[in-house]
Amino acid sequence: MSTPYDFIIVGAGSAGCVLANRLSADPGARVLLLEAGPPATHPDIEIPLAFPRLQRTALDWAYFTTPQAELAGRPIAWPRGKVLGGSSAINAMVYLRGRLADYASWGPNWCPDYVLPAFKRAENQQRPSLRDTHWHGASGPLDVADLRCVNPLSQAFVEAALSLGWSYNDDFNGATQLGAGLFQVTQRDGRRQSVAAAYLAPVRHRRNLQIITGALVRRLRFDGDRAVGVEFSRGPELLYAEAEREILLSAGSLESPKLLLLSGVGPAAELEAQGLRVRQSLPDVGRNLHDHPRVALPFRCQAPVSLLNAFTSEAQSEFHQFGTGPWTSNLAEAGAFHGDLQFHFLPLDLSNVGLDPTGHHGFTLAPTLLTPRSRGRLTLASADPAQAPIIDPGYLTHPADLAAMREGVGASYELAASAAFKVYGTTVGELPNVDALIRSRLDTCYHPAGACSIGTVVDQELRVRGVRGLRVVDASVMPMLPRGNTHTPVVMVAERAAAMLLGVD
């Protein structure tokens, strides 16, 4: 490509679309946005309840971890969005920021005084009582809404939590995170609002913004210690684009560290073993990989009230005509924060590990560990950019994680046995061998992070150490996961990065 750009953004996901919007607002900045996946035209993207159907399709990188020794040798599926909007186009749309105080552990640039304004800058809060308050914004691109249709079982979950003495929380993104309640979601008029819809669609007309889909970035090019361009393939073509100011890796928590490694930035011995030239020795690229582990626990009920009722032509028609009804459900409708655990509540029996309904009425409780101590790593399988990396999150390799998950399973059985669920004829049964249950059912909450951490791989302004003109802006920079779902924190990280680059921070 003959025309140089000021900024090249690799990846049009939860961070890349934010960067493309904010940086191209300067008409003098030439911005190129590269996305490996296709445009977001698949009809299931806008249907909240349909997101499980998008996994293991052409819109998903469809990663798997290595067989996990502490999980009976099971590999775990790690879906990641491969489409404009990235994982925000295939996720459960839960809007959570995490505890603001926790971000201070990332360093001085991430204290609440910086982080909260970035969250508010992104948010267009739809609940009237929350708009333009201390905690919420009302003029950002990202619509945040209450669920339009709440299943009775989700309401029962909140009642069950209150019966155990847990507090009620009407706003998980306000003064406190603790308690039980209904999640807010990133939806507009009952339909999914990905970052591509929120941030990218309104500015696609800008003459200084070029968006290329189907572009698989293969490696970065350097001039000395400066990153100056990217090589990418589009179909059979091998192309090159040059950046005069900066390259921003927003390819995601797995692809960004992979691209650094492919480009010769990482542990020197590993790179040399793959026949790669070492551009910058950074031993921690790929290290500190971690995830929020969850255990999905299904329970059956006799009353026909679950989301199985959504799979009808009437529900389909209601959604398409009015944007209402059970198809607007994000599946993870309710939840709670208790101790070091987050509970996701899904009003559907998912007895199979994953998101496959069984055909029986019921619900699923998924206790999730917020601050796992187990750490893994990402490495290259080969120097071939088209090959998936080796992903080993090291689930349960720290004994404290297993102990915490035991508490989560026990609390879930207490919740399921409460009077609030007995009304619906819930079958709970005896608590089985807890450790065996955890090892057979634990999987991902879809929140991988940490393989390009602040402090070891990037600095406080997300610049790659020892390399000029290169930053990483996505979940891979998180040295410690936030307490909650990661989509919203990634948007915040991108808002912060854009402010730094524009000099308005």
Pick the closest to residue 482 from 378, 340, 344, 295 (CA basis): 340
The continuous run of DSSP H or E covering 309 comes out as: none
User: Residue 353: what pLDDT?
Assistant: 54
pLDDT tens string 56-103: 999 999 999 999 999 999 999 999 999 999 999 999 999 999 999 999
pTM of the model as a whole = 0.97
**What is the pLDDT averaged over residues 303-317?**
94
Tell me the catalytic residues: 447
User: Residue 414: what pLDDT?
Assistant: 97
Pick the closest to residue 146 from 122, 129, 160 (CA basis): 129
User: Residue 351: what pLDDT?
Assistant: 74
Residue 220 has pLDDT above 80, yes or no: yes
- Residue 422 class from Cβ within 10 Å (0-12 exposed, 13-18 middle, 19+ buried)? middle
The first and second tokens of residue 50, run together, are: 């349909």
**What is the pLDDT averaged over residues 241-261?**
98
Residue 365 has pLDDT above 60, yes or no: yes
Residue type, 439: R
Residue 357 has pLDDT above 90, yes or no: no
Pick the closest to residue 177 from 116, 245, 99, 83 (CA basis): 99
DSSP assignment of 390-418 equals EEE--TT-SHHHHHHHHHHHHHHHHHHTS
Q: What is the DSSP secondary structure assignment for residue 465, as one 8-state letter?
A: T
User: Residue 359: what pLDDT?
Assistant: 82
Distance of alpha carbon 256 from alpha carbon 11, whole angstroms: 9
Residue 17 has pLDDT above 60, yes or no: yes
Residue 381 has pLDDT above 70, yes or no: yes
DSSP assignment of 351-374 equals -SSSS---SS-EEEEEEEESS---
pLDDT band at 355 (very low <50, low <70, confident <90, very high): low
pLDDT tens string 145-199: 999 999 999 999 999 999 999 999 999 999 999 999 999 999 999 999 999 999 9
The CATH number, out of the four listed (3.20.20.10, 3.40.225.10, 3.50.50.60, 3.40.50.2300), of the domain defined by the range 5-39+68-502: 3.50.50.60
User: Residue 358: what pLDDT?
Assistant: 76
User: Residue 354: what pLDDT?
Assistant: 52
The first and second tokens of residue 445, run together, are: 């909450």
Query: What's the mean per-residue pLDDT of the chain?
Result: 96
- Listed in sequence order, the residues at least 6 apart from 198 whose beta carbon sits closer than 8 Å to its beta carbon are 17, 141, 142, 143, 186
User: Residue 429: what pLDDT?
Assistant: 87
pLDDT tens string 427-483: 898 899 999 999 999 999 999 999 999 999 999 999 999 999 999 999 999 999 999
- Count Cα atoms within 13 angstroms, Cβ side, for 48: 33
pLDDT band at 505 (very low <50, low <70, confident <90, very high): confident
User: Residue 115: what pLDDT?
Assistant: 98
User: Residue 356: what pLDDT?
Assistant: 65
User: Residue 3: what pLDDT?
Assistant: 84
The residues pairing with 185 across neighbouring beta strands, listed in sequence order, are: 94, 145
Distance of alpha carbon 230 from alpha carbon 255, whole angstroms: 14
Residue 45's CB is within 10 A of a number of other CB atoms, namely: 24
Domain ranges (residues) in the chain: 5-39+68-502
pLDDT tens string 126-141: 999 999 999 999 999 9
Residue type, 368: T
